[in-house]
């Protein structure tokens, strides 16, 4: 019933803007109710990992469990503030798809699915990057291999080959697909959007002094991220979920770009306590792109 009233209020608002309700309003002044007063704010649930939580972006959310490294300037917070939505923010740094259904930190962080209900209107999520520790693991592994060649060649690709890509396709993809299916089941009336990950490395060369990855391994890791975003997009398409593709918007704004341009902070010489994560500009632009795609 509440949703029916909300839809009616939105229709009244549109008709009023077009001047189509003037006669009815004049005829029944005692019963006229403004659309702005009748319409309830959207119920918005923000879910996901550190890219959703805004980990490292100042200021931190003092009301959240400290271990989640949640920010009050994350992209979900910006969306909620801009749209006037009532936000339930359950994002938490380090979360993977399993942490949606289980307590990530028992006694401290409840399963993120607990925030969903039939009354939920909007859900956003960034998830998958921590599954099987594959993406962070690949970055660390490639950094270690790069150190052995002083940043030259492609030692990481030669050592690991397709291993990381295979794990993303065989493990991350079905886990993200199932997570999105479960979100729709728990919030059947909600618009659900999953964001891809903005570029962390450029297509070529890299910046070894800031991102210690051998030059030849930069395209290898870039392709791994493209594979990750690709399976997320596939899972979204198969579950009726909106996919917010950040690849074009974040091109040239990776961790090797200069401060003020980059969306993601580098491992060294960055400005965030949480490297290889979006900075304040990145969070703001992720919010803007999500709102554009969602029509908010």
Give the torsion sign (CA, 263, 269, 271, 274).
Answer: positive
* Residue 210: CB atoms within 10 Å: 18
Span 45-56, pLDDT tens digits: 999 999 999 999
- Joined tokens for residue 179: 């997570």
Cα–Cα distance for residue pair 168/177, rounded to 1 Å: 12
Q: Give the CATH number of domain 41-294.
A: 3.40.50.1110
Q: 195 near 180, Cβ under 8 Å?
A: no
Q: Among this protein's residues, is 50 annotated catalytic?
A: yes
Beta partners for 89? 46
Span 155-204, pLDDT tens digits: 999 999 999 999 999 999 999 999 999 999 999 999 999 999 999 999 99
- Residue 46: which H helix or E strand, with range? strand 43-48
Mean pLDDT of the 88-107 span = 96
* Residue 294: CB atoms within 10 Å: 15
Identify the active-site residue in 50, 52, 55, 74. Answer: 50
Span 272-284, pLDDT tens digits: 889 999 999 999 9
Distant-in-sequence, close-in-space partners of 31: CB < 8 Å, separation ≥ 6? none
Distance between alpha carbon 275 and the CA centroid of its chain, in Å? 17
Angle at 103 between CA 97 and CA 104, to 5 degrees: 60
Q: Among this protein's residues, is 34 annotated catalytic?
A: no
Confidence of residue 11 (pLDDT cuts 50, 70, 90): very low
Domain spans in the chain, listed from the N-terminal domain onward: 1-40, 41-294
* Residue 189: CB atoms within 10 Å: 12
Identify the active-site residue in 52, 55, 272, 277. Answer: 277
Rounded to the nearest 10 degrees, the angle between the axes of helix 280-294 and helix 75-83 is: 50
């Amino acid at each position: 019933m509440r949703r029916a009233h909300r839809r009616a209020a939105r229709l009244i608002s549109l008709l009023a803007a077009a001047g189509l309700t003037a006669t009815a309003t004049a005829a029944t002044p005692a019963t006229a109710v403004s659309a702005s007063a009748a319409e309830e704010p959207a119920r918005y649930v923000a879910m996901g990992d550190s890219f959703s939580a805004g980990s490292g972006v100042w200021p931190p959310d003092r009301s959240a469990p400290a271990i989640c490294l949640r920010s009050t300037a994350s992209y979900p917070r910006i969306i909620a503030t801009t749209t006037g939505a009532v936000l339930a923010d359950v994002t938490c740094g380090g979360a993977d798809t399993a942490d949606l259904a289980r307590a990530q930190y028992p006694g401290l962080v409840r399963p993120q699915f607990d925030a969903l209900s039939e009354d939920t209107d909007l859900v956003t999520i960034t998830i998958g990057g921590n599954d099987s520790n594959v993406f962070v693991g690949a970055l660390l592994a490639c950094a270690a291999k790069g150190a052995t060649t002083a940043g030259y060649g492609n030692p990481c690709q030669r050592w690991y080959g397709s291993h990381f890509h295979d794990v993303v396709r065989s493990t991350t993809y079905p886990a993200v697909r199932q997570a999105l299916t479960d979100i729709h089941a728990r919030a059947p009336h909600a618009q659900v959007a999953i964001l891809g990950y903005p570029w962390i490395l450029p297509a070529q060369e890299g910046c070894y002094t800031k991102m210690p990855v051998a030059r030849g391994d930069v395209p290898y890791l870039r392709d791994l991220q493209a594979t990750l975003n690709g399976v997320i997009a596939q899972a979204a398409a198969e579950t009726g979920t909106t996919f917010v593709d950040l690849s074009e918007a974040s091109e040239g704004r990776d961790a090797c770009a200069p401060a003020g341009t980059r969306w993601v902070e580098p491992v060294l010489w960055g400005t965030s306590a949480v490297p290889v994560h979006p900075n304040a500009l990145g969070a703001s632009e992720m919010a803007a792109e999500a709102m554009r795609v969602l029509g908010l």
